[in-house]
Structure 1
Amino acid sequence: MEVTGSAIRRIDAESSLPVQVLKREDIERTGATSTVDLLRRLPAVQGSTGESASVGGSTYGFSGVSIHNVGETRTLVLLNGHRLALFGGQTLTGFAAGMDLNALPVSAIERVEILTDGASALYGADAIAGVVNFITKRDTTAGEVNIGFSRPDGGAHEKRASITKGFGSLADDGYNVVFTLARDERTALRSTDRDFASSGKVLFSNGGKNYRFQQYSASTIPGNVSNDAGNLINPYLIANGQCAPQSFRVTDGADDFCGFDFVSTLEIYPVRDRESAFVSGTKQLGNHQLFADVLWSRTKQTSRIAPVPGGISIPAGSALAQKYLEPLGITEDSTAFYRLYDLGARASKDEVNFYDIALGSKGTISKWDYEATYTRSQSRAKSNISGYPGALALAKLRASGLLDPFVLPGQQTAEATQAIQGVNYNGYWDGGKSQLDTVQVRGSTQLWDLPGGPMGLAVGANFNKEKFTNQPSLFAQGRLADPVAGVLCDENDPALACDQRFGDAAAKVPYSASRKSWGLFSEVSLPVAKQLELTAAVRYDHFSDFGRATTAKAAFRWNPTPQVLVRGSVGSGFHAPTVPQVKASPESYGVTSGKYNCANSPELAQQAAAQGAECRPGSQQYDVVAGGNPNLKPEKSRQATLGIVVEPIRQLSVGVDYWFVGIRDSFGQLAEQTVFANPNQYAGAWTSQVDVGTGKRYLAFNQGNLNLGKEYYSGIDFNIQHRAKTPVGDLNTSATATYMLRQKQQLEPNGTYYSPIGVNSDDLGTVSFRWQGRIQSTLKAGAWDHTLGMNFKTGYKDQTTTVEVLDAAGNVTGTEDIRLRVKRYYTFDWQSAWTFRKDMTLTLGLLNIFDRDPPFTLSTSGTNKGQQFGYDDRYYDPRGRTLYGNFTYRF
């Protein structure tokens, strides 16, 4: 038997490394309908990116896995023991440089093995956090059809279907073929379908006081403008004494304007369609098996957010200035911060195509068990957008006199409405392709006998070639004069000036880069006594662009009595940066998640002046610039585990494993909260960007790739299994949990350490839960299976937030910095499965039985956080109570 984490075949499945195994029946009892949902339910998984991050973020719908919050890029995902291509939509900062779980159909999975310790020898030195190995169905003639649905209240409704069938028996026919086809669809969930997420304006109480907080955009409709003093005001507010619908009044020093409630327009869970096909074929030839596995999948996701915002120049003396601004005493050139509501919502229609082909042979030669495999894997991501005009196109529309940024939605003239639709870019925007070719050969054998049994030896070699290509459109590159018509620009012809997307400077740079690597590894197991086995492994890797590295692992497995197992390991790791992290050209990288005001920060104004730029008026988001860094050093790590498994009686097993990971020269970017709080301390983190639409040069945040320093992680994983026979049936109970002891990180070499355990760190922009776990009991009674599960997370301190203090009448009396305590969170799930015929099973269940809302939070920014507000979409599911059903027919 092979176990994830070792290359040596053995009879006893219990190893010296902590491995969690989810069998097919375990997967079904969780109620998870995808590999994404399945892994997010595991207590050892923290810090993973989910589908909701695409709401306002350029993620292409990526969903990854991070063991112990050590990172998605440090968690290795395998399919039947081999590597897969990294996500085609990964960014130049390293975000999404992992495996997209959407590509793996849960219907094809027989079991999942999660190694919560780095396996440096067998799979690669970069598996610092651990390994997740998906094992598919094979050597079966069974057929199975599954049809199911999931129905939360309001939206995010799912329907799904799959079929699996096997042909031929290896033992009887000498061959076997298994195929799986699967498809699922999901509708959108709007923010207005959930009270806790429906608006950016919230009223709340804390510590006996009443408060108000407003999450908004300064680009609204009718537009705000900057007056001659550089402050934001709103002509509609001044004329009508109130803000327009979907906006609310904001006062900040001398600024008095209307903030747009973009939160009320969001689809907080995106539309998604997935389809996949998997075929596995095996042919027995004597002592050898030839095999071929082919996986293909396609995921389509549509995310919609508020209509596009941006700045529109209003020259002094223009018709708009005379009508709206001069009566307010504005005599200089101004900028309207406007939302082009009449263009409709911004939509990102993302599509990711993935395929993986594995060809190989395994068997026995002399006394060696061997396996030789060639794999090709490719992930291709592309994004089509709509609801985005060119900045120059919109400026021309304003100059023509048609566009009026100071009227309500729907009040443009018919001619203006037609012209607005005429500048709407609807087409391909950006994408990328990641490809991996791998050849691997490994073998294991038994050597001479030792006191505890035969000595085991494994050796192997691998060769990898990976390539990444970034493929932005001509519009994304800023090379079109007319994005809608596709007319190329000419920098020497003013009539053919290069346009960019309205609202952000988005001149992306295409690039393609590759690397080659090869490695050698060896592992030896030494049963030095009946009760004690030692294991040692060493690996040598050579990279075409990062030199070479030697890593090692040593482990032991000790059974002082048949009821007690003590195990432990120590090892080292090596993680080279991704190709884009090193070789990507500097380019615009979106905007900050938070809003900042130079009026409140003289240092920020000082940095703007140093860049020959100006601050944005009022509280606004700032452009971000990022790029590859050829001077990045690889990450190096040390890992260790120490655990004990006790079985005092046959019906009870208790496992406790301590784990530790230390990393130096960690990859990352300076956190925006830290830099904006100390602008002069990070003088190298500033640059400038020209707003194409207004021609103004604004301060921008330079958030490139850096080696930040050291990181340390440690914790304890608990695993308890109990089996009992009751008068009504067999009762099986499991409890798994992770307790985080330590997580601390530096943001610069030799700098201060920051920890996110139990706190939404202002500096790190993330949370690690002190406790996270799941308890599940299943009662098997005749034809019925009943499962009750409980999921829990501990609470934490929220980010520090400036809020408005209200008196008893609801009037604002001042501001205060507060740090809320986000409550602990737990939900219960129920499932009943009825096998009413030998070949048919009907399953009904409820997730989140008591419809518990996510805990309230004021956080507005953080690593991979979407635009959702009122709850943290990274850690909590907004779908609420969900009824689901599955019908299974076996043949």
Structure 2
Amino acid sequence: MFAGSLAMGMHAATAQEAGEQSMQRVEITGSSIKRIAAEASLPVQSFNQKDIKKTGVTTVTDFIQQIPAMQGFSVAADSVGGGGGGITTASIHNIGEQYTLVLLNGRRIAPANSGTTIDLNSIPLSAVERVEVLTDGASALYGADAIAGVVNFILKKGASDWQIDAKYNRPERSGGSSNAVSLSKGFGDIDDDGYSVFFSASHDEQKALKASQRSFAKTGIVNFTDPANGRALQFINGSSLALPANAAVRYTAANGDASSVNLNPYALSHNGACAPMNADFYGNGNCYFDHASTIEINPETKRDGVFSSGEFKLGASGFKAFYDFAFTKANVRSAIAPFPAQFSIDQGSALYNRYVAPYLTAEQAAGVTSVTANYRLMEMGNRTYDYGTKATHIVAGVDGNAFGWDVNSAFTWSRNRQTQDYVSGFPVAAKFDAAIDAGLLDPFTYGYGEMPEAMKNTLLGTGFSGLYSTQTVIMKGWDARGSREAFKLPGGTAMLGVGVDYRDTNYQVANEDVAKNAEILYESPSIDSGYHRANAGAYAELMMPITKQLEVTASARYDRIGATKDNVGGASYGQTESANTWKLSGKYSATKNLMFRAAAGTGFRVSTMQQIAGMQEDWGVTGGNYNCPLAGTNHPLASYCNGVGRQQFEAFRAGNAELAPEKSKQWSIGTVWEPLNGVSMALDLWQVEIRDQVTDVAESQIFAQWEKYANLYTTKYVASTGRNELAIVYAPVNIGRAESRGIDYDFQHRMNLWGGKLTNRLAGTYLLRSRYTEPGTSDEWTSNLNRYSSNDDVAFRHIIRASSSFETKQFTHTLTAAYRNGYIDKPQTEDDCAVIVAGSPGECYAITLQVPSYTTFDYQVAYRPMANVEITGGILNLFDRDPPFSLRNAGSHQVGYNPSYSSALGRQFYLSGSYRF
């Protein structure tokens, strides 16, 4: 039902379903040559509207991320807490979203960042006619940077009835409900009327889901047992910025050594018991706040979209003008843990005298050098961000035939603008410090809900709400391509395709004064930035039918990518890069029902403008808590570890102008076989090897291997404490090599049964290899296949989708199963101390769990009481499977499961309707 055929015959079927009765030449995804649809030879998975509807999804993101060939993408639940701004992406074969090219009607759209990554939120599902996924990478037509492959959204066009669609989805448990509505209409016929225009408008939204609404995610303090010996353990993702506050006291001991002591005045005055929502995990004097219990694990989203396409005959010239227009407004609102505030307590102040001095020894009191309050502003509520995206995409061009050439040329203007608003939960430093100095706030006394109303109002009065920054990406481009018959061969006529393309991408970040002046407590100043870069390419493709059975296609491409220009300072970063890439593919039709195909080629990609030229900027704090690895070492920043316990560390993000281009080699070999009427199978073995792959070093690697990444340690000045603190830098590096290999498969069976048609399908991807070399080496391989790797990801060997659909004149019943195998979880070491023995603070425990496999079932029934009406009801996650337990504690803020690999919504019921008139 869902998986989409890898067989070429699927294209012919799709064309027939669209009403194409004649053998019309069409553009095939992955080729510059217009050909009969049934002639396609590349491994393209095609999904029409019927396939999409049977999944029960509401958004493009949900649909794409269910395809078995997709792994390694960004989901909104992970993106909003992990610095991604709520974007959602596509990634073929776990090779990476940056290597997966996403197109609208075969043309690029403005990315969500300074590279080529596309935010799927900007594409309205209601406007999609079909989706084609080319799983063979480095296209001559689209660009050598499409190393993993291409996702091409073919949008609706042509005459059609008015159609209104509506859907409502509600999880059985609270939170996360969604709804969608769309309206569309097509006018005119290009042949009869000389024009054709299509229009659609849509709206969809989803409510937020709180961690407290799901038992598996409601706390960052998770009790579990070691499956090997039954020992009771606790998994901890707490923060030393607590409620009430901890006090970190640094002092000079009597012997002259720098030392420190942590204390929690609330606990000390309550017989050592931490306040509710806090716990003593390490016996180091701190109480640790359960921040994971306060967050939203799925953000609130709203999206409005308008799309129109049109074609107009240009007299009797044989040409037609065309346009595409798409506009999407999307808002992703995310609520993460309340603000973590650090500020200095002056010696002799009322707070010092009342809450700190009584608990210090004479030696400590005599040598005090600084006191820092580590406080959680729970009464301000969650830090709530609103990421607003406005995406506009305009294409205008001509298409026709001249002098024997099928030609197509167009201009593209595409813009993606994202605003970041601070909605609530952010204190202005000047106001907050003034309230502390005036004695209007007491950070050491009150637990959640205990703060006096007047004090709470004072705290709320320090907050900021408004626009924080705006990121704008504008892509302007022009392309022209043509194809024609070239010469005769024994198997038929050879076809030649040629083309050129040019695009200029401008990336700009404009910060508001609140960001530029670091007005928010604990933040560093943000600096406006802007870059632009020009790309140009030319390509040629020759398809040669050597015999009636054998067809060979050769293509070559030249790309030139300019240096990154700084719009603000005028400097250039990196250098102009160019490369010649090639691809050779072929298919052999052994019989009418058996075909073999193969392809080999090369790819080329230059890093994003931000990766090359990005200045060092504040990037919050680390996702995990760590002991300071530089303590007692000869690192020049080792002194910043004095008095520092286990904590989250400051973080920056920065670029690297020395990054080398990435280059790839890939090949595939496959077969399509129909042994019996109604039975088909397709298998494709593929491999991609990337040299000089670019990636950010994960924080776990930086802390575990500090000597290798010594240059990624720095300091950050924290205005609220008046001190420099140790920080790490997330910076991109060329890691060496990466290899991926696997098999895509698709088995299908159709038969007539009981007056209807039964369709069974099994489709999936089987990964054979997924590995990369450690940064700075060429032969130290790390595999993430079926294991959580140092890059904080997992490559799954098995992702399978099986379905059975029974269709009669009025009803269609569909049962679908989705399977993802288990994997080795993130190792937790004694040094990490994220796991302790239950009831024994500070007794760290090393463990690596096996995360179990995850299988869900969906059921849907569609009812067609009239030709123009369809009513559909269904259940997603029929057996209400919770996500499997995981000890992951990097990336976004969710704890207890991995939001990248399973949904927290649980069993969902949905009802939808479609009416044409």
User: Which of residues 171, 185, 193 in structure 2 aligns to 1:165?
Assistant: 185
CA apart distance, 1:717:
0.5
Q: Which amino acid aligns with 2:783?
A: S
1:594-640 alpha-carbon deviations (Å, 9 max, x no partner)? 11123xx4x34537753663457322111112222222211111111
Q: Distance in 1 between matches of 2:886 and 2:729?
A: 28
What is the match of residue 779 of structure 1? Answer: 806
Verify: 1:508 aligned to 2:533, yes or no. no
What is the match of residue 22 of structure 2? Answer: none
What is the match of residue 215 of structure 2? Answer: 195
Q: Which amino acid aligns with 2:238?
A: Y
CA apart distance, 1:680:
2.6
1:223-270 alpha-carbon deviations (Å, 9 max, x no partner)? 011245423221111111354554232242x61321111111111111
Report the 3-state secondary structure (helix = DSSP H, G, I; strand = E; otherwise coil) of the residue aligned with 1:597: coil
What is the match of residue 818 of structure 2? Answer: 791
Structure 2 gaps of 5+ residues are 1-25, 252-258, 564-575
Q: Distance in 1 between matches of 2:159 and 2:39?
A: 25
What is the match of residue 768 of structure 2? Answer: 741
Q: After the TM superposition, which segments of 4 or more aligned residues of structure 1 sit over 6 Å from their partners?
A: none
Distance 1:407 1:608, change over 3 A: farther
Report the 3-state secondary structure (helix = DSSP H, G, I; strand = E; otherwise coil) of the residue aligned with 1:102: helix
Q: Distance in 1 between matches of 2:54 and 2:260?
A: 60
User: Which of residues 105, 117, 121 in structure 1 aligns to 2:136?
Assistant: 117
Q: Distance in 2 between matches of 1:30 and 1:587?
A: 41
- Conserved? CA contact 1:626–1:705, under 8 Å: no
User: Which of residues 871, 877, 884 in structure 1 aligns to 2:910?
Assistant: 884
1:415-472 alpha-carbon deviations (Å, 9 max, x no partner)? 5433322221111112311111111100001122211110000011111111100122
Q: Which amino acid aligns with 2:591?
A: T
Q: Distance in 1 between matches of 2:625 and 2:95?
A: 29
Distance 1:674 1:803, change over 3 A: closer
Q: Distance in 1 between matches of 2:187 and 2:836?
A: 70
Verify: 1:131 aligned to 2:150, yes or no. yes
CA apart distance, 1:83:
0.6
- Conserved? CA contact 2:237–2:624, under 8 Å: no
Verify: 1:675 aligned to 2:675, yes or no. no
User: Which of residues 195, 203, 214 in structure 1 aligns to 2:236?
Assistant: 214
Q: Distance in 2 between matches of 1:84 and 1:53?
A: 24
User: Which of residues 840, 846, 852 in structure 2 aligns to 1:817?
Assistant: 846
Q: Distance in 2 between matches of 1:10 and 1:701?
A: 54
Q: Distance in 2 between matches of 1:696 and 1:625?
A: 16
Verify: 1:858 aligned to 2:915, yes or no. no
Q: Distance in 1 between matches of 2:277 and 2:62?
A: 35
CA apart distance, 1:392:
4.5
Structure 1 gaps of 5+ residues are 480-498
Q: Distance in 2 between matches of 1:596 and 1:840?
A: 59
Verify: 1:542 aligned to 2:560, yes or no. yes
Report the 3-state secondary structure (helix = DSSP H, G, I; strand = E; otherwise coil) of the residue aligned with 1:867: coil
What is the match of residue 420 of structure 2? Answer: 383
1:769-828 alpha-carbon deviations (Å, 9 max, x no partner)? 110010111110220011110000000011112465657xx6669432000000000000
1:21-60 alpha-carbon deviations (Å, 9 max, x no partner)? 0011001101111100001100100010011124423322
Q: Distance in 2 between matches of 1:806 and 1:705?
A: 37
Q: Which amino acid aligns with 2:142?
A: Y
- Deviation larger for 225-234 or 726-735: 225-234
Report the 3-state secondary structure (helix = DSSP H, G, I; strand = E; otherwise coil) of the residue aligned with 1:263: helix
- Deviation larger for 390-399 or 283-292: 390-399
- Deviation larger for 631-640 or 611-620: 611-620
What are the residue-to-residue correspondences of 1:642-791 with 2, within 5 Å? 642-751=669-778, 752-761=780-789, 763-791=790-818
Q: Distance in 1 between matches of 2:96 and 2:823?
A: 20
- Conserved? CA contact 2:631–2:639, under 8 Å: no
- Deviation larger for 633-642 or 330-339: 330-339
CA apart distance, 1:705:
2.2
Q: Which amino acid aligns with 1:270?
A: P
Verify: 1:625 aligned to 2:652, yes or no. yes
- Conserved? CA contact 1:247–1:258, under 8 Å: no
- Conserved? CA contact 2:718–2:725, under 8 Å: yes
- Deviation larger for 746-755 or 630-639: 746-755
Query: Structure 1 length as normaliser, TM-score?
Result: 0.93
Q: Distance in 2 between matches of 1:268 and 1:551?
A: 43
Query: Structure 2 length as normaliser, TM-score?
Result: 0.91
Distance 1:3 1:242, change over 3 A: farther
What is the match of residue 484 of structure 1? Answer: none
Q: Distance in 2 between matches of 1:242 and 1:782?
A: 71
Q: Distance in 2 between matches of 1:74 and 1:754?
A: 20
Q: Which amino acid aligns with 1:627?
A: A
Verify: 1:233 aligned to 2:263, yes or no. yes
CA apart distance, 1:564:
1.1
CA apart distance, 1:560:
1.4
What is the match of residue 535 of structure 2? Answer: 517
What are the residue-to-residue correspondences of 1:568-579 with 2, within 5 Å? 568-579=598-609
Report the 3-state secondary structure (helix = DSSP H, G, I; strand = E; otherwise coil) of the residue aligned with 1:581: helix
Q: Which amino acid aligns with 1:434?
A: V
Report the 3-state secondary structure (helix = DSSP H, G, I; strand = E; otherwise coil) of the residue aligned with 2:719: coil
Q: Distance in 2 between matches of 1:522 and 1:609?
A: 55
CA apart distance, 1:733:
1.6
What is the match of residue 490 of structure 1? Answer: none
Q: Which amino acid aligns with 1:823?
A: P
What are the residue-to-residue correspondences of 1:332-347 with 2, within 5 Å? 332=368, 333-347=370-384
Report the 3-state secondary structure (helix = DSSP H, G, I; strand = E; otherwise coil) of the residue aligned with 1:883: strand
- Conserved? CA contact 1:43–1:774, under 8 Å: yes
User: Which of residues 45, 49, 55 in structure 2 aligns to 1:20?
Assistant: 45
Q: Distance in 2 between matches of 1:706 and 1:741?
A: 26
What is the match of residue 483 of structure 1? Answer: none
User: Which of residues 439, 450, 466 in structure 2 aligns to 1:427?
Assistant: 466
Q: Which amino acid aligns with 1:200?
A: G
CA apart distance, 1:716:
0.6
Q: Distance in 2 between matches of 1:147 and 1:822?
A: 38
Distance 1:883 1:707, change over 3 A: same
User: Which of residues 547, 555, 567 in structure 1 aligns to 2:585?
Assistant: 555
Count matched residues.
854
Verify: 1:322 aligned to 2:353, yes or no. yes
Report the 3-state secondary structure (helix = DSSP H, G, I; strand = E; otherwise coil) of the residue aligned with 2:541: strand
1:72-131 alpha-carbon deviations (Å, 9 max, x no partner)? 1110000001011111xx37xx6xx51111111111111000000114310011100100
CA apart distance, 1:13:
2.6
Q: Distance in 2 between matches of 1:431 and 1:868?
A: 27
Q: Distance in 2 between matches of 1:437 and 1:188?
A: 36
- Deviation larger for 34-43 or 322-331: 322-331
Q: Which amino acid aligns with 2:677?
A: R
Q: Distance in 2 between matches of 1:692 and 1:204?
A: 40
User: Which of residues 34, 47, 54 in structure 2 aligns to 1:9?
Assistant: 34
What is the match of residue 487 of structure 1? Answer: none
What is the match of residue 361 of structure 1? Answer: 398
What are the residue-to-residue correspondences of 1:423-462 with 2, within 5 Å? 423-462=462-501
Q: Which amino acid aligns with 2:176?
A: A
Q: Distance in 1 between matches of 2:836 and 2:696?
A: 34
Q: Distance in 2 between matches of 1:750 and 1:820?
A: 29
Q: Distance in 2 between matches of 1:645 and 1:590?
A: 51
Q: Which amino acid aligns with 2:198?
A: V
CA apart distance, 1:17:
1.6
What is the match of residue 9 of structure 2? Answer: none
- Conserved? CA contact 1:804–1:812, under 8 Å: no
Report the 3-state secondary structure (helix = DSSP H, G, I; strand = E; otherwise coil) of the residue aligned with 2:285: strand
Q: Distance in 2 between matches of 1:500 and 1:634?
A: 39
Q: Which amino acid aligns with 2:201?
A: L
Distance 1:607 1:732, change over 3 A: farther
What is the match of residue 305 of structure 2? Answer: 276
Verify: 1:301 aligned to 2:332, yes or no. yes
What is the match of residue 167 of structure 2? Answer: 148
Distance 1:35 1:607, change over 3 A: farther
Percent of aligned positions with the same letter in both sequences?
35
Q: Distance in 2 between matches of 1:803 and 1:634?
A: 38
